[in-house]
Structure 1
């Protein structure tokens, strides 16, 4: 059984149908890159998987449990599926350590000592244990994003959704964040990544999903998708990336 099963998912905002019947099954340990032009529905798909947007039709199941739009199910889902955003969404008045501790204590009701131990462990994992007491404005963008990754990992998710997590970063900071993601992939973490980093998609991901106008247009191993795109839309998209 797949870890995440997305079946005929549709999502509209008013009269604008953004997702037009999406089918993707994600196996445990897979790293999936979702690529495509702006407006093709990539970020909306991630937000639906995490329950931040409710779907209009179809089903999403995570670890065998179907996603239902009530508070109890959504809370259970968010414990299983972590999400990292383009903007780091850290609380500016809390230190890096406290940012990583907070959701554990609020959502999982973890005691402070245990939450701190977990926070130190995860900040160490992303190479930032020495910044435990630093505030977000004392950190670079890359460091802030790594704290956001540590915060997601502290909830011990079975999968991580990454929504263009490097696109707000200066070019020289992109690699330090991707290095952390690469490490997670090598440890067997299930990852779904909306990304513009084609080389990363080619080198690290097990499958690439090309979305176009709200549909999964092509899907396959990176070698196949990048080397021999089957449709003019993907050929054009890859040409634009290479330009």
Structure 2
């Protein structure tokens, strides 16, 4: 039973059809990178899975919760997936610890003591246990993004959706975030990542999804897609990223 099931999903913005019938199953514990040129629909697909964008056709379900029209269904779905964005979106007026504690307390009604315990454990996991009382503006971009990962983990999601989480970072800070993601992958967390980090995609991911003009163009294990791209579009894309 796939953890995330995407079936013939279509999404339009006005006359522009951004997703043209996407189907993809993600198994529990799978690490999948979605790659492709900008404008191919990658980020839109993640936003649809999380219910941030409505879909025009097709179905999406996460751990049996269907993406439906009702607020309750949407809430159910969102409890099962965590989303990490390119921008860290931390609350500047709250300490790091409070940033991580706030969602479980508000959304799940977890007690403050319990939320603090979970927050400390997740900040340790991303290597920032010592920053519990610091404020976001005292942290580097890489540290802020790691706090955002800890915040997503504090909701105990069954899968994490990561939308180009390193692209706003200086190059020397990218690795500290990817190291955390490697650790989560090793622990068996289901990860669906839109990324430009080809080395990470090659080394850590079970499968790659190459999107082109709103469709899944090629899909398969990294060694297959990198070693033997079947379409000129993927060959060209890999050629463009080889220098990266």
Range of TM-score over shorter length:
over 0.9
- Segments of structure 1 that go 5 or more residues without pairing to the other structure are none
Correspondence 1:16 to 2:22:
no
Correspondence 1:223 to 2:223:
yes
Give distance in 2, aligned partners of 1:5 and 1:107: 25
State the aligned residue count. Answer: 243
Contact kept, 8 Å, 1:51 with 1:69, in 2: the verdict is no
Deviation of the 1:74 alpha carbon: 1.1
Q: Deviations over 1:61-103 (max 9, x none)?
A: 1112221022111111111000000000100000110000011
Q: Deviations over 1:93-114 (max 9, x none)?
A: 0011000001111111111111
1:178 aligned residue: 178
Q: Which runs of 4+ in 1 moved over 6 A?
A: none
- Segments of structure 2 that go 5 or more residues without pairing to the other structure are none
1:44 aligned residue: 44
Give distance in 2, aligned partners of 1:84 and 1:66: 21
2:100 aligned residue: 100
Alignment of 1:77-92 (within 5 A): 77-92=77-92
Alignment of 1:29-68 (within 5 A): 29-68=29-68
Give distance in 2, aligned partners of 1:73 and 1:152: 20
Contact kept, 8 Å, 2:8 with 2:22, in 1: the verdict is yes
Give distance in 2, aligned partners of 1:69 and 1:175: 39
Q: Normalising by structure 2, report the TM-score.
A: 0.99
Correspondence 1:134 to 2:134:
yes
Contact kept, 8 Å, 1:50 with 1:81, in 2: the verdict is yes
Q: Secondary structure, in 3 states, of the residue corresponding to 1:53?
A: coil
Cα RMSD (Å)? 0.6
Q: Secondary structure, in 3 states, of the residue corresponding to 1:52?
A: coil
Q: Secondary structure, in 3 states, of the residue corresponding to 1:55?
A: coil
2:119 aligned residue: 119
Deviation of the 1:242 alpha carbon: 1.2
Give distance in 2, aligned partners of 1:84 and 1:167: 12
Q: Normalising by structure 1, report the TM-score.
A: 0.99
Which segment drifts farther, 148-157 or 105-114? Answer: 105-114
Deviation of the 1:157 alpha carbon: 0.3
Q: Secondary structure, in 3 states, of the residue corresponding to 1:176?
A: helix
Give distance in 1, aligned partners of 2:34 and 2:219: 9
Give distance in 2, aligned partners of 1:75 and 1:66: 10
Q: Secondary structure, in 3 states, of the residue corresponding to 1:224?
A: helix
Give distance in 2, aligned partners of 1:13 and 1:131: 41
